[in-house]
Structure 1
Amino acid sequence: MAASVKVTAESGEQGAAYDRVAAAIEYLQQHFTGQPSLEELAQTANLSPFHFQRLFSEWAGVSPKKFLQYLSLDYARHLLADQALSVMDAAHASGLSGSGRLHDLFVSIEGMTPGEFRQGGEQLVIDYCFADSPFGRVLAAATTKGLCHLAFEEDGAAALSALKARFPNARYRQGVTPTLQQVLMFFDRDWQPSSPLRLHLKGTPFQLKVWEGLLRIPEGRLTSYGALAKSIDQPSASRAVGTAIGSNPVAVLIPCHRVIRASGQFGGYRWGAARKAALIGWEAAQIERE
């Protein structure tokens, strides 16, 4: 397996913490209505209540009890209602600035040309690396034009094979380019970007439009599939929007985890329901701290 690149010492520690708390987050999702105790949650991580509370709080920035609030249906409905149907207005109201904000970090999404589609990336050079994040290991990849892939991976060899299947004729190099380094440093909450991030994506015009819509959802906010469809002027295409979201090739930075059901239920996620809940709760905690 290819060597891993750690973002920072802190993010590596958070990645290890996520491995321990992921089971507890999944347990929280499954047993939320029973309001599980600290002792119950600690058992899922094979830790004492004291050590689990400390580990969880270090990873999330809040206590398990507070995090539980962020996973509640009432809280999700509040975020949906607060954002209403105006994703664009909410994005502008957020100020589009500050550490950890995505909205001002992307100048544009550059779609690959029809020729690049047909040739399977024959003329592309793709740099890639494995790295730790607060939510587990990721595989990141970029062309000279921008980031083209960011995915959580459990099996490095399988993840790399899946990437190569998307661009079968591209030339691959393992290493950390300036673009990839900037992506990997995103999880450092004090990070100030040196330049805007660009995306170089393989998708249909409709998919690219949906992914652009996702970028306008403010951090710490949620929207529904129907609201996102309306925001891109496709009010009757909720199902197609859901399909495009499921094809999103860039985890976290294109925040498909911020789209949930209109009922307030989180629903599925390409990289696991527990990880989606972790991302939503973690972002809510970071916003509250700031």
Structure 2
Amino acid sequence: MNQTTPIPALDDGYHYKVMRRAIDLLDAAEEPLSLQQIAAEMGMSPAHFQRLFSRWVGVSPKRYQQYLQLGQAKEMLRERSTTLEAAHEVGLSGTGRLHDLFLRWEAMSPGEYARAGEGLTIYWGWFDSPFGLALVMGTEKGICGLALAAEMGEDAAMQDLMSRWPKAEFIEDPMMLRPWVLTAFGAEDGSLDKAPLYLIGAPFQIKVWEALLRVPSGHVTTYSDIANAIGSPRAVRAVGTAVGRNPVSWLIPCHRALRKSGALGGYHWGLPVKRAMLAFEAARAEA
């Protein structure tokens, strides 16, 4: 296994890893687990685990499990659906997006994109995240890739990102990326210069990813809403493809895009990961 760079929790690295294991356990459970069962798995007393989980996630383990239920996506679509044009008008595309962490982004020009990364140096590293092992890639301008390997595996995640820019030079350097990653997963306060994004994609893809950046945490949207927001109302299928090709999971929140029916739809990095992300954000929004 590749060496990973741990991301410290808000208090310490040990508690961060415990919470990550707890989220994995709850998401994998086929039926709700009792507080006693979860605490035993974590090697803690029920009272201590309850306090720790509630402080870190924002709600109790029982409430969090309710967010993982299949009907939660439909409820979010009814109650927290974001019309992207309205979100932009009221400022949600500014300080409200992505936990105030990603206010600056830059896109590669179409000509540069057509060269498949030729002349581009991309740094990479493995990191622990709330959603399992994360492969993060970035240039000197910002994060350009974030793959989650919990479902697809490490080798497939690495091949997936590297194949997007086949002519780039790839250098392992997790310490170069570490400050951005800390901000990305909320382990440090964000700033305008700490976690920039560098979007590498075709012009249509960039437009779709920019629209996703306007969906606030704890809210969802639909593929058709995204198509309307970018001025291509008939391009719903093409929008879905662009959403699926988003190379920067979590940070460009493609997990917030649902079908009109409330169904989760697909997710490139695995549907269990998408469910966990939506539940995590919904719980924190409520808190």
TM-score bin (small chain): 0.7 to 0.9
Structure 1 position 142, deviation (Å): 0.7
Indicate which of 185, 204, 214 corresponds to 2:202: 204
- Do structure 1's residue 149 and structure 2's residue 145 form an aligned pair? yes
- For residues 11 and 220 of structure 1, do their structure 2 counterparts lie closer, same or farther at Cα, with a shift above 3 Å needed? farther
Alignment deviations for residues 68-95 of structure 1 (CA, whole Å, 9 cap, x no partner): 3334566544533445562232353548
2:230 aligned residue: 232
Structure 1 position 112, deviation (Å): 4.5
Aligned ranges 1:44-63 → 2 under 5 Å? 50=46, 57=54, 60-63=57-60
TM-score, normalization by structure 2: 0.81
Contact 2:82 2:219 in 1 (8 A): no
Aligned ranges 1:113-262 → 2 under 5 Å? 113-118=110-115, 120-154=116-150, 155-176=153-174, 180-188=178-186, 191-195=189-193, 197-262=195-260
Contact 2:35 2:61 in 1 (8 A): no
Structure 1 position 38, deviation (Å): 2.2
- For residues 166 and 13 of structure 1, do their structure 2 counterparts lie closer, same or farther at Cα, with a shift above 3 Å needed? farther
- For residues 90 and 26 of structure 1, do their structure 2 counterparts lie closer, same or farther at Cα, with a shift above 3 Å needed? farther
Structure 1 position 139, deviation (Å): 0.8
The two structures, once aligned, show a CA RMSD in angstroms of 3.4
**Paired AA for residue 88 in structure 1:** E
Contact 1:107 1:196 in 2 (8 A): no
Stretches of structure 1 that go unaligned for 5 or more consecutive residues are none
Alignment deviations for residues 101-144 of structure 1 (CA, whole Å, 9 cap, x no partner): 14x623333125434533x3221111111111111111111112
1:90 aligned residue: 87
- For residues 190 and 183 of structure 1, do their structure 2 counterparts lie closer, same or farther at Cα, with a shift above 3 Å needed? closer
Contact 2:137 2:143 in 1 (8 A): yes
- For residues 279 and 84 of structure 1, do their structure 2 counterparts lie closer, same or farther at Cα, with a shift above 3 Å needed? closer
Alignment deviations for residues 19-61 of structure 1 (CA, whole Å, 9 cap, x no partner): 344243243xx65xxxx46279749969899387567546533
- Indicate the SS of the match to 2:157: helix
Contact 2:26 2:65 in 1 (8 A): no
- For residues 178 and 20 of structure 1, do their structure 2 counterparts lie closer, same or farther at Cα, with a shift above 3 Å needed? same
Distance, in Å, in 2 between the alignment partners of 1:211 and 1:173 is 26
Structure 1 position 260, deviation (Å): 1.4
Percentage identity across paired residues of the two chains: 36
Task: Count the aligned residue pairs.
Answer: 281
**Paired AA for residue 255 in structure 2:** H
TM-score, normalization by structure 1: 0.80
Stretches of structure 2 that go unaligned for 5 or more consecutive residues are none
Distance, in Å, in 2 between the alignment partners of 1:46 and 1:263 is 37
Contact 1:21 1:45 in 2 (8 A): no
**Paired AA for residue 65 in structure 1:** K
Indicate which of 17, 20, 37 corresponds to 1:18: 20
Alignment deviations for residues 214-259 of structure 1 (CA, whole Å, 9 cap, x no partner): 0000111111111121121221222211111111100100001111
Distance, in Å, in 2 between the alignment partners of 1:198 and 1:190 is 14
Distance, in Å, in 2 between the alignment partners of 1:196 and 1:153 is 24
Distance, in Å, in 1 between the alignment partners of 2:239 and 2:256 is 13
2:4 aligned residue: 4
Contact 1:15 1:136 in 2 (8 A): no
Contact 2:108 2:200 in 1 (8 A): yes
